[in-house]
Amino acid sequence: MKVDIFDVGQGRASGDALHAQLLRDAYPELTQIGLDVQIVAQDATAGSQPDAVIDPTPLLDIPDDADAVDTRDALANFAEQHPLAYQLTGGREAYIEAEKSTGTSKKGQTILNLADAINQEKKCVFLCRREVAADIWDTLATDPSFARSDYPVDGETRLYHSSRTLRVDGQTAYREGSRESVWVREDDTGAYVLRDDDGTEHARFDDPLDIFLNTTKYAAVGDAADDDLRTIRKPVIPELEFDFAPRPGADWHVVIVPEDGGPLELYHDGLTVPLSAVGQAKSHMSAESPGHSEPDAAAGDGLRNDLKHLLRGKNR
């Protein structure tokens, strides 16, 4: 269900007043682009939902009796006449995630938010304040993508985890050891390893699906456990979350919402330009589904080059 911009719901993912303000501050400029912006009512019983959706349908001229050729031509015209709206949406409803602090403190959730959009064949626009933009980019695009770039151990990739407790075969899993759960993937063997922050290994998996299915790997599994056992944070495993690797500029964007009421800005790999200027850049877009076509796959690199040209013009 979609609700008024001033009602962001009361569910788990609704956020607080600052979260709501982020959405409200972005609303006027997004609607000026011609997009229909609607907040999604957060219902804890309805599963994962975006914070909002942006719909370019008001800008599309597709007859009710349109065939595939008519639809393709309409999308091509839309991309040419409304390049900014097309860049953000790809010509279909896109998801908005308001990353007030999640992009900095709960990076695993940022990945899951993107996966929710991509797996529904939708682009994702992350709205954030200026100080959060680089953290979102680091989480999603800095090598290794969708894993921690600050992990100092060679030969291993440390995974993010979600805020949820790991459930195995539908039951809560427990381990021994110290407080923090550490999930890594060994680069040479491909094995997934569960340790604690003291370095003690508690479980090892050759197949990542076994993390969620094999109850014999854990100290205990069930709704009750000894007081000296600890619950485990659920790992965020990109190979299981995504059918393909989403690319910045092609499948997702980071948009800065200034607190002073200034114009929205697009953040891309350390470059920042007014969002309105993106529509003036040379188009590198196609009318295909996000992430599934060669032109779209090149859109991220093309967008970065366009932003460089825009910045040069601003600095002359």
What confidence tens digit (pLDDT) does each residue in 285-298 have? 333 444 443 344 45
In this prediction, residue 47 carries a pLDDT of 63
pLDDT over 60 (residue 189)? yes
Domain boundary among 220, 241, 262: 241
The neighbour count for residue 67, using CB atoms within 10 Å, is 8
Say whether both 215 and 261 belong to one domain. no
What average pLDDT does range 125-139 have in this prediction? 96
Residues 254 and 127 in one domain: yes
Residue 151 lies in a domain: no
Same domain, 42 and 65: yes
**What pLDDT is stored for residue 19 in this prediction?**
80
**pLDDT, position 290:** 44
Segment 104-120 shows an average pLDDT of 91
Cβ(31)–Cβ(53) under 8 Å?
no
Whether residues 193 and 141 fall in one domain? no
Share of the chain above pLDDT 70, in %: 79
**270 and 304 together in one domain:** yes
**Distance (Å, rounded) from C-alpha 80 to C-alpha 86?**
9
Residues 197 and 255 in one domain: no
Rounded-to-10 torsion of CA 112, 132, 27, 141:
-50
Alpha carbon distances (Å) from 313 to 299, 310, 316 = 21, 5, 5
Which domain, by its residues, includes 228?
A: 156-241
Query: What is the average pLDDT score of the chain?
Result: 84
Summarize pLDDT for 50-70 with one digit per residue, the tens: 999 999 988 987 888 888 898
In a domain, 276, yes or no: yes
Q: Which of 21-25, 221-225, 307-311 has the lowest mean pLDDT?
A: 307-311
Same domain, 85 and 186: no
Average pLDDT in the 69-76 region?
A: 88
Q: Show which of 241, 268, 290 is a domain's final residue.
A: 241
Contact indicator for 248, 141 with CB cutoff of 8 Å: yes
Alpha helices in the chain, H assignment, sequence order? 17-32, 68-81, 83-89, 102-105, 107-118, 130-141, 238-241, 275-278, 294-297, 299-315
250 and 226 assigned to the same domain: no
At residue 23, the pLDDT reads 93
Q: What is the DSSP letter of 171?
A: E
Q: Establish if 114 belongs to a structural domain.
A: yes
Angle CA(149)–CA(113)–CA(45) in degrees, nearest 5? 140
What is the pLDDT averaged over residues 152-175?
A: 95
- List the structure tokens of 302: 């093309």
Give the per-residue pLDDT at 10.
46
In this structure, the answer to whether residues 229 and 286 fall within a common structural domain is no
How many separate domains does the chain show? 2
Query: φ, ψ for residue 266 (rounded to 5)?
Result: -90, 130
281 domain-assigned: yes
170 and 267 within one domain: no
Query: Domain boundary at 203, 220, 241, which?
Result: 241
Do 106 and 169 have their domain in common? no
Query: In this structure, what DSSP letter does residue 41 have?
Result: P
Same structural domain, 222 and 257: no
